[in-house]
Amino acid sequence: MRPWSVALCICLATIPIFARAHGPQIQITDDNNQLVTHRLLQNEPYSAVTPATSVFVIPMRPLGGIWYVQPNSEIDPILLQPAFPSGPGLAYGSDQADGGPRALVAGTHFNEDFVDGLKWWNGSVFVDPGTEQIGAFRGSALASADQAVTTDLSPFGGIAYPAISATYAADEHSSARFRLLGNGTDPLSASKDGVYLLSLQLTSTQNELAASDPFYFVLAKNTAGDVVAAAVAALVAEKSIVPSRVQFVPEPASLALLAAGTISLATFRRRRRAGRRDP
């Protein structure tokens, strides 16, 4: 076989792999008529139900001078660019893993709403970052950018997902992207390094399907692991979040261990303070 034909075969064999890949999605379920957020899955399959999750610790990475929330840093071997520039979106078809009845009503849709202004970790607490905001949009790379932007005061806004199909499958999902706007409007403007906090909630237009509990993106931009761990521990303590509901994406072993120790210490101190207050 000629060398050029071998190369062509390799390229053709690679293309279907990426055609089937749909990148990072947060798995959500309908649990007793309430939306529940589960683990962030870096790629499909999305159908096996994962543990409930409230805090997603995600790196921010630059692409073309823009800082994106990027849970999956996989590189496309053909284009030599990130295969998934940003994320996460939502995966909601796990109730179809066994082919049972569909819990979600066709024609309804999800909204992913900001429930607070963007915050920044100053080493002690989360504070207003200043001019920085997060822009969110859903759809393909050709979709309109910044369909929703965080604000310092309510109403906070959010993004709407497309209508649910009557025939949705086990790996059903819809992608979204998030990027940092340094001056509040321009993604190419300068922004502070550090740890940002984005507070979110899911709602549905389906009758009697209650909103999710608030969930959080802890976003790390050019910062050390111990700083991230301290910020996560403070959030867990402030919001009384069970440590098992924290996910580092991706999860480097050293950072996960550091965070686990920091979170455990923060939990112990909180309980100790509470014990002192109780008679």
pLDDT, residue 53, reads 98
Q: Are strands 35-41 and 25-30 parallel, antiparallel or unpaired?
A: antiparallel
Bridge partner list, 179: 68, 135
Task: Say how far apart CA 209 and CA 190 lie, in whole Å.
Answer: 41
Task: Say how far apart CA 78 and CA 53 lie, in whole Å.
Answer: 34
Position 45 in a domain: yes
Position 17 in a domain: no
pLDDT, residue 9, reads 39
Position 2 in a domain: no
Position 72 in a domain: yes
Mean pLDDT (whole number) for 49-76:
96
Task: Say how far apart CA 186 and CA 58 lie, in whole Å.
Answer: 22
Listed in sequence order, the residues at least 6 apart from 207 whose beta carbon sits closer than 8 Å to its beta carbon are 105
- Domain that residue 126 falls in: 22-277
Under the banding of pLDDT at 50, 70 and 90, the label for residue 144 is confident
Position 112 in a domain: yes
pLDDT, residue 100, reads 87
Mean pLDDT (whole number) for 174-184:
97
Position 174 in a domain: yes
Q: How many structural domains are present in the chain?
A: 1
Task: Say how far apart CA 138 and CA 117 lie, in whole Å.
Answer: 20
pLDDT, residue 248, reads 97
Give per-residue pLDDT as tens, 183-222. Answer: 999 999 999 999 999 999 999 999 999 999 999 999 999 9
Under the banding of pLDDT at 50, 70 and 90, the label for residue 113 is very high
SS (H, E, C) the chain: CCHHHHHHHHHHHHHHHHHHCCCCEEEEEECCCEEEEEEEECCCCCCCCCCECCEEEEEEEEECCEEEECCCCCECCCCCCECCCCCCEEECCHHHCCCCCCCCCCCCCEEEEECCCCEEECCCCEECCCCCEEEEEECCCCCCCCCEECCCCCCCCEEECCCCCCCCCCCCEECEEEEEECCCCCCCCCCCCEEEEEEEEEEECCCCCECCCCEEEEEEECCCHHHHHHHHHHHHHHHCCCHHHEEECCCCHHHHHHHHHHHHHHHHHHHHHHHHHCC
Under the banding of pLDDT at 50, 70 and 90, the label for residue 13 is very low
Highest mean pLDDT among 5-14, 141-150, 226-235: 226-235
Give the tokens for residue 18: 């990426």
Position 1 in a domain: no
Average pLDDT, the chain: 87
Instruction: Name the least confident of 49-53, 56-60, 74-78, 190-194.
Output: 74-78
Position 5 in a domain: no
| pLDDT surpassing 60 at residue 268 | no
- Find out whether 265 and 259 touch, Cβ atoms under 8 Å: no
pLDDT, residue 107, reads 98
pLDDT, residue 264, reads 58
